């Protein structure tokens, strides 16, 4: 795929919000896509290496992308998806000031089996950072909303899910990008839980901004059943030609007299939605590892039914726990999902496999296949947010969000963390020095944290430190500093698998499995009593098998995905294979989304 520049339509809406560093997108370019996995329960053998719209439009397969969503959205434009998306729902970071985590437990263990405290320890994995300065956050959203508008069909709609932190800012940005005339609703999602505060009124709602691309947009009026409506003073439910209703009695009147206002139990859906959050004990929540920001399927069902029809294409580029894609799949819509977090990609894939397998068994789906792609050569082994968070913990950095440039403090020093995707360069050093010159009253020294550094950096730091009596710069180079380098040693998962051929079947048995990352995370808070895991399958989330692996694209012909959170994988399998010599691949995925692939020629 050639990397061509794609012109982005200028924004023309008003009012406009201004922030430091605001810059419109004039052009973007796509990136090569790498097909890494195909779920194909009907065994068609189809694998679309470059998922262009023309290639897919008459023979659709759903799409799941791993990478930065800005790169993915630009790539979709280059692949021909401009104006092809019917509905967009996004649940982006809220700039909440808290980093979001996913809580994971070992599978299938009893409390007494794991430790003396009779409790199964929880592993927390950072899914994304949600600590921003406002200018950075607004530019982040501005760029993505511009790209989403390009992808949206003229008859399409977009729903942006936020809360009180930045919803008012994003509303103005959306007025600029989509035009204030295309604003349709500010939807209030009201929920019962949470909202406890002694100094403010309880915050018990999110805001969902609903915009269309043009005035000619698809919309289906929905009616809802008010099952939990409480009849006032036990007045019986009545019925007329419009349906069942109760009387809303005006204060001060006789409740036995039928006056006041009729309230129908079946009514048009309005812009305040009383939908419960996902109960932590519900299977819907347990199956997604208690994903912190998971939204209920009921919420997405309402949005998808209102603003799309069967066969329409739904996009969510902050897929998270996969709610949008799951509901779209159940409702017969096509879907595209994207996330920067590898755990989210695995979680979405795993749950979709369960849903599709059930649909295929009941012959109830037109779209039984999906493919997973990596965009811009994104590293599946070490998530950037996870690496930075580990560095913060190991070094002892205290995070701050009031400073727009520095990331935190350590002892009395300011800390600047250099992006782990590149070494510390002279340009990085110059930016730090320029920032310090803007702060004449700043007398703290600076600690720079990086993975590595260019050779020329040391001499420039020496010159700076000799010139100034304050703001001296020192560097923690994680690759060479023995105090902190251990966390960067990524020990991959290991699986011991036995495989034998029996005529046209492969007999597969997983004999052992170890995840060094899981073991380390389990024992980090149990330094004096190491945790022993009685069954290695407790660390395994699912097992996937390709019976004719080509060494590049993993085609899932069998998936062992436990239905319940506490169920274990089987560990023993009989898979049909060719009568000729063939290569079988077994992919074992752990509960954190890490994976190992073992291949065998039999």
Per-state percent for the chain, helix, strand, coil, to nearest 5 = 25, 30, 45
The reported pLDDT for the residue numbered 265 is 64
The CATH architecture to which 5-22+30-97+132-222+272-375 belongs is 3-Layer(aba) Sandwich (3.40)
How many CB atoms lie under 10 A from the CB of residue 322?
28
The three-state DSSP-derived secondary structure of 229-251 is: CCCHHHCCCEEECCEEEEEECCC
Mean of pLDDT values over 258-284: 71
pLDDT score recorded for residue 528: 45
Residues 545 and 576: their CA atoms lie apart, in Å, by 11
Q: Is the pLDDT at 411 greater than 70, yes or no?
A: yes
Are 38 and 554 a contacting pair, CB within 8 Å? yes
Q: Which long-range contacts (CB under 8 A, 24 or more apart) does 484-489 make?
A: 484/391, 484/394, 484/395, 486/394, 487/390, 487/391, 487/394, 488/387, 488/451
Report which of 381, 576, 597, 568 is spatially closest to residue 497, judged by C-alpha positions.
597
Banded pLDDT at 405 (limits 50, 70, 90): confident
Work out the pLDDT band at 1, boundaries 50, 70, 90. very low
**pLDDT (tens digit, 9 = 90+) per residue, 359-375?**
999 999 999 999 999 98
Strands 370-375 and 62-66: parallel
Please give the full DSSP string across 385-414, using - where no structure is assigned.
HHHHHHHHHHHT-EE-SS-SS--EEETTEE
> How big is the chain, counted in residues?
602
> Regarding the domain with residue range 491-601, which homologous superfamily does it belong to in the CATH classification?
SOR catalytic domain (2.60.40.730)
Q: Percent of the chain scored above 70 by pLDDT? A: 80
The reported pLDDT for the residue numbered 107 is: 82
Q: Is the pLDDT higher at 421 or at 575?
A: 575
Radius of gyration of the chain (CA): 27
Pairing of strands 261-264, 266-268: unpaired
Strand pairing class (238-240; 243-248): antiparallel
Q: What is the pTM of this model?
A: 0.74
Average per-residue pLDDT in the chain?
A: 84
Longest dimension (CA), the chain: 90
* pLDDT for res 418: 85
- Per domain, the residue ranges of the chain are 5-22+30-97+132-222+272-375, 224-268, 384-487, 491-601
Please tell me if the domain spanning 5-22+30-97+132-222+272-375 has the same topology as the one spanning 491-601.
no
Least confident of 101-115, 322-336, 483-497: 101-115
39 — phi, psi (to 5°)? Answer: -100, 115
CA geometry: angle 481, 487, 492, nearest 5 deg: 130
458-477 pLDDT, tens digit per residue, is 999 999 999 999 999 999 98
Q: Would the pLDDT of 454 be above 50?
A: yes
- pLDDT computed for residue 130 by the predictor: 46
186-205 tens-digit pLDDT? 999 998 777 777 888 888 89
């Amino acid at each position: 795929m050639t990397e061509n520049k794609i012109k982005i339509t200028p924004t023309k809406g008003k009012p406009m919000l201004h922030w430091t560093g605001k810059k419109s997108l004039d052009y973007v370019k796509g990136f090569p896509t790498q097909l890494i996995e195909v779920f194909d329960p009907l065994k068609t053998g189809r694998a679309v290496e470059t998922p262009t719209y023309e290639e897919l439009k008459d023979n659709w397969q759903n799409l799941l992308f791993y990478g930065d969503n800005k790169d993915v959205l630009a790539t979709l434009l280059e692949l021909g998806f401009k104006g092809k998306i019917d509905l967009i729902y996004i649940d982006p970071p809220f700039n909440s000031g808290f980093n979001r985590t996913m809580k994971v437990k070992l599978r299938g263990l009893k409390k007494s089996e794991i430790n003396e405290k009779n409790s199964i320890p929880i592993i927390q994995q950072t899914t994304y950072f949600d600590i921003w300065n406002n200018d950075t956050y607004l530019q982040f959203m501005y760029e993505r909303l511009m790209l989403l508008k390009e992808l949206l069909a003229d008859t399409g709609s977009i729903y942006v899910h936020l809360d009180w932190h930045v919803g008012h800012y994003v509303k103005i940005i959306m007025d600029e990008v989509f035009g204030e005339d295309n604003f349709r609703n500010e939807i209030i999602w009201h929920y019962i839980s949470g909202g406890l505060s002694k100094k403010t009124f309880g915050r018990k709602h999110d805001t969902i901004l609903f915009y269309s691309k043009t005035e000619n947009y698809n919309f289906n009026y929905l009616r809802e059943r008010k099952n939990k409506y409480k009849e006032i003073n036990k007045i019986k439910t009545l019925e007329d030609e419009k349906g069942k209703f109760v009387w809303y009695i005006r204060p001060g009147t006789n409740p036995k007299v039928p006056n006041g206002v009729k309230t129908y139990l079946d009514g048009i859906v309005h812009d305040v939605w009383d939908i419960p959050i996902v109960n932590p004990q519900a299977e819907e929540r347990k199956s997604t590892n208690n994903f912190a920001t998971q939204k209920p399927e009921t919420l997405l069902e309402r949005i998808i039914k209102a603003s799309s029809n069967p066969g329409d294409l739904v996009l969510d580029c902050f897929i998270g726990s996969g709610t949008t894609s799951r509901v779209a799949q159940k409702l017969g819509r096509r879907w595209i999902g994207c996330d920067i977090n590898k755990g989210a990609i695995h979680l979405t894939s795993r749950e979709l496999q369960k849903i599709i397998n059930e649909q295929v068994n009941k012959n109830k789906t037109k779209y039984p296949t999906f493919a997973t792609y990596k965009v811009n050569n994104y590293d599946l082994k070490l998530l950037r947010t996870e690496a930075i968070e580990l560095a913060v913990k190991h070094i002892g950095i205290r995070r701050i969000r009031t400073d727009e440039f520095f990331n935190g403090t350590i002892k009395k020093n300011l800390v600047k963390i250099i992006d782990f995707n590149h070494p510390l360069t002279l340009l990085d050093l110059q930016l730090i020095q320029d920032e310090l010159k803007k702060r004449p009253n700043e007398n703290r020294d600076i600690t720079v944290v990086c993975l590595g550094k260019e050779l020329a950096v040391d001499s420039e730091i020496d010159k700076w430190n000799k010139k100034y009596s304050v703001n001296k710069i020192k560097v923690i180079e994680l690759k060479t500093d023995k105090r902190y380098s251990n966390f960067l040693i990524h020990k991959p998962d290991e699986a011991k698998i036995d495989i034998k051929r029996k005529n046209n079947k492969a007999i597969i048995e997983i004999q052992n499995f170890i995840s060094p990352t899981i073991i380390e995370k389990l024992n980090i808070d149990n330094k004096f009593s190491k945790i022993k895991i009685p069954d290695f399958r407790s660390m395994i989330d699912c097992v996937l098998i390709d019976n004719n692996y080509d060494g590049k694209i993993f085609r899932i012909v069998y998936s062992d995905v436990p239905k319940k959170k506490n169920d274990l994988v089987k560990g023993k399998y009989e898979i049909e294979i060719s009568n000729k010599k063939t290569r079988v691949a077994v992919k074992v995925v752990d509960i954190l989304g890490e994976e190992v692939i073992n291949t065998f020629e039999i």
